[in-house]
Amino acid sequence: MGWGLVAQATDLPWQHCSQLTQDREARLACFDRWAAQQGAGAALTMPAHPASPAPPPPAVKVADSLAESPRPPAERDCKNPRFSEMSRFWELEAGSDCGTFRIRGYRPISLAWVGSDSVNTQPASPALGHSQTEALAYTTDELRIQLSVRTKIAQGLLTGGNTDRRDSLWFGYSQQSYWQLFNGDLSRPFRSTDHEPEFTYVYPLDTTLPGGWRLRYGGLSVVHQSNGQDLPLSRSWNRVVLMTGLENGTRYWLQARLWQRQQEAPEDDDNPGIEDLIGRAEVAGLWNLDGKNTLGLTLRHSLRAQANGSFKLEWLRTLADPGAAGGRNSLRLHTQLFSGFGDSLVDYNRRRTVFSVGLSLVDW
């Protein structure tokens, strides 16, 4: 019986395992069986006829097989550049999946100096009791602070274990504050802070379109936005948002969103007509010029004859070479020009132009 086990192990040499280059799991399993058979054969034959152990496979081969073996989701490099930027951002495939309940970046986390053509010293709304009675001496120079994070709370809801496509459900939270840091006369208050929690479902797609474009996902969001203020400055609204995303190679990224405001009773509406001013649709695009510079453009439109909305033009520049200090460089110089309605909720019915420059943390 001992010789039979040794012969069986001999029938499966390590060279056979090293040839399984197309299937990483089969390759690792083959080496595991080879090692187990060698151990079993040696244990049975050594008491009677000690024999020299079979030569082990070269160390480099074993190391290669272990390096190629699948890792648990929590240990995967879900920022692997072999997946597209959009696939990594929404984790549309198994290889770009980082698992659930881990904190990711969402919108840029940023700190910027802001200069504007005007500032809302006496916010007003058509709603009864929603207009400030006294003007405050705010200045046009401010700091803007934006925080934004998200986590995936479920995946594979409709796609199951499909490795090519993986749907997901996310919870995100964004916060933007305007801080009158340079206004010592008013004790440097925060002029406004907007809070935006949301739930987003993303379904992966991969449809080839003309011009090298690929349709990568469709999604649905439920979004609440409010400034957390008491009357007369209270502002809030709720939306259901349809969205989709496209990409063209590694240079171009496009997202379109269309939303429907959830109507409130007139006595509960802080900001009547907000969708006619801030808009009902948005198209955002990014153009990666090279490894260091990215341009962005976001357009919002009211989808009415009176064409209100806004535009936002951005330039982001990497502050160090990609991969510096042994990892990804996520810090950017961030310059932005905004003009239109809705730079903040308290300004939903006030058109203004804002220029900002600062630092942003992205793709972390």
135 and 271 share one domain? yes
Question: Are residues 64 and 102 both part of a single domain?
Answer: no
Distance CA(128)–CA(232), nearest Å, equals 9
CA-wise closest residue to 99 among 150, 153, 148, 149: 153
Domain boundary among 55, 70, 85: 70
Domain with residue 137: its CATH number is 2.40.230.10
10 Å CB burial of residue 362 (0-12, 13-18, 19+) is: buried
Residues 278, 307 contacting (CB under 8 angstroms): no
What is the predicted pLDDT for the residue at 38? 60
Each residue of 48-102: pLDDT tens digit? 444 445 454 444 343 333 333 344 444 456 777 788 889 999 999 988 899 999 9
Residues of the chain with pLDDT under 50: 1-12, 40-52, 54, 56-75, 324-326
Residues 336 and 286 grouped into a single domain: yes
Range of the domain at 328: 75-361
Cα separation, 306 vs 149, in Å, equals: 35
CA distances from 318 to 67, 130, 136, 197, 293 (A): 31, 43, 38, 29, 7
**pLDDT tens across 184-220, in order?**
999 999 999 999 999 999 999 999 999 999 999 999 9
User: 12 and 140 share a domain?
Assistant: no
**Integer Cα distance of 141 and 135 in angstroms:** 17
For the chain, the domain total comes to 2
Residues 36 and 57 in one domain: yes
Q: Are residues 61 and 131 in the same domain?
A: no
